[in-house]
Chains A and B, each alone.
Chain A
């Protein structure tokens, strides 16, 4: 790590994770977007190739910033049938770790459990870990790359991933 590398404390990273969880669980998607760097990307690798690269591998989700912005437009639209009425979700985030900085990027990781409820449906529990890359923009930590890796061997009964993991 050189002196110019960006650093972050675990407390700072935890605050970011917890704020993000709160905003997503409350469907405050526009506010959530403000946590992102303006070239942010969002990935969910396929369950059978969790470590793969989205350029060569079919992912579940691989959004560049343009599509991520469109995804938010979709999620807020009542015609997003899979999430209308919006699911109730509750995220538990633990085991937060801060990795060694790589220039202006700080890799961080955390475990998550996301409970998702819809009327008349059995709860669905999404378990996995985040592998994010953060950047400091104007002093504030922002999410530059967001990767949610699911532990399930296949999506199976989890069905679609229609809300943000």
Chain B
């Protein structure tokens, strides 16, 4: 008998504890209904990344972008405060600011000429005397996102007024954001200029999985592994270790659907682990970065920051990869089978010209639409999406790796991927 109280999104994630299997119905990657459900159940209730404080250095600085399907002006007001305003005129809806970025004295709506201050309040309304009452400048201002909070300069908005505060929401993920920001002597990281914006013809959840799935490295990234070997880096797992990669990393549950890999580094880090790819001339400089880190944080914490790679997912759609460079990668579904990806590089504000150049060089070897790895990820995801055309015939994806040892998930197990899917299931099943 049909259970009327059950959400129509029930039963899409199947966990069988006896058989130690975990499956996800392929329908979730192709269904229009699931896609629309996600926009409400996830993107209208979760904290969604907007941008980084370093992108708005001066009063009036702004960036326009799409966040959770809405046009947003991310702007620092004359009062210094950072805001996320909905970029739609209160009069008749036109996009008020049509530039990508800049410094604004005011925002001018090209439709009827209403102007707004950088803090969102109305500045002028042409022919104001035609209205029964004078326009309330504050009340009729650009609508701010209901909530905007930040953690260590990472700004998130929330369309649910009743959501828990950002820090509570982030849970165990804060520790992993700290490990990123501690790479800067002053604790200040900055988004580096230059944006990578590209589409993937695949469901957005596949990029969540892919960003933390170390099981795929050997097959998908064979040419990158080859490049590393050619550059003198040892990519061979220790003999008889049973490992697929040179070190054994962990897949971790950080609460509230957030997850991370946590891997002993073997592929070099600008802060601060030298490998041959950087060249001999970089050795002394990276040693000096390491020394500063040890002086500031102590030997143990410095090693934690410098000697581990961490690919972090902030549920639902922000990834911070702290690997051979740091990338902040944000993606949003525009259809069940299509997402827009935006990626930036992040670095300590103190970096010298040589250090910054080294960071960017390391970034581009692996990451991004022209890297040696990301294009193959895109191909893998698009290929999976094509495979899901047969979702009625081959119904389930398998994510059972490591189900036999749930307390000790390695990075090539799928325990951390299951963290995402359980949270996804819980939020979707709550949806009417």
Contact = CB atoms under 8 A, between A and B. Distances in A.
B198 interface: yes
A77 B368 CA distance: 19
Sort A-B residue pairs by CB-CB distance and give the 4 closest, nearest first: A58-B194, A82-B375, A154-B197, A61-B370
Given A82-B379, A159-B378, A162-B375, A56 B193 contact: yes
A161 B369 contact: yes
Interface in A73-97: 73-74, 77, 79-83
B226 A77 contact: yes
Interface string B371-411: 01011101110000010000000000000000000000000
A56 B370 CA distance: 17
Contact of A47 (B197, B199, B356): B197
Q: How large is the interface on A (under 10, 10 to 19, 20 to 34, 35 or more residues)?
A: 35 or more
B154 interface: no
Nearest to A158: B198
Interface of B: 100, 192-201, 220, 222-224, 226-227, 230-231, 340, 344-345, 353, 356-357, 360-361, 363-365, 368-370, 372, 374-376, 378-380, 386
A44 interface: yes
Nearest to B369: A160
Interface string A7-22: 0000000000000000
A83 B379 CA distance: 9
Contact of B370 (A48, A49, A60, A81): A60
Contacts of A73: 223, 226-227, 230
Given A73-B226, A77-B222, A81-B380, A58 B369 contact: no
Given A46-B194, A155-B196, A82 B376 contact: yes
A55 B197 contact: no
Contacts of A52: 193-194
B372 A71 contact: yes
A46 B196 contact: yes
A82 B222 CA distance: 12
B313 to A, nearest CB: 21
Contact of A74 (B197, B223, B231, B363): B223
A156 interface: yes
Contact of A60 (B231, B365, B368): B368
Most buried by B among A44, A46, A81: A81
Contact of B369 (A55, A153, A159): A159
Contact of A49 (B193, B201, B227, B372): B193
Contacts of B197: 47-48, 154-156
A161 B375 CA distance: 7
B368 A159 contact: no
Contacts of B199: 155-157, 159
Nearest to A58: B194
A59 interface: yes
Interface in A144-165: 153-162
A74 B199 CA distance: 23
Given A67-B365, A155-B369, A159-B369, A80 B223 contact: yes
Contact of A58 (B344, B353, B378): B344
Contacts of A58: 192-196, 344-345, 360, 363-364, 368
B378 A160 contact: yes
A31 interface: no
A153 B275 CA distance: 36
A154 B364 CA distance: 17
B375 to A, nearest CB: 4
Given A55-B353, A77-B222, A159 B200 contact: yes
Contact of B194 (A48, A80, A83): A48
Given A61-B370, A155-B198, A155-B369, A81 B220 contact: yes
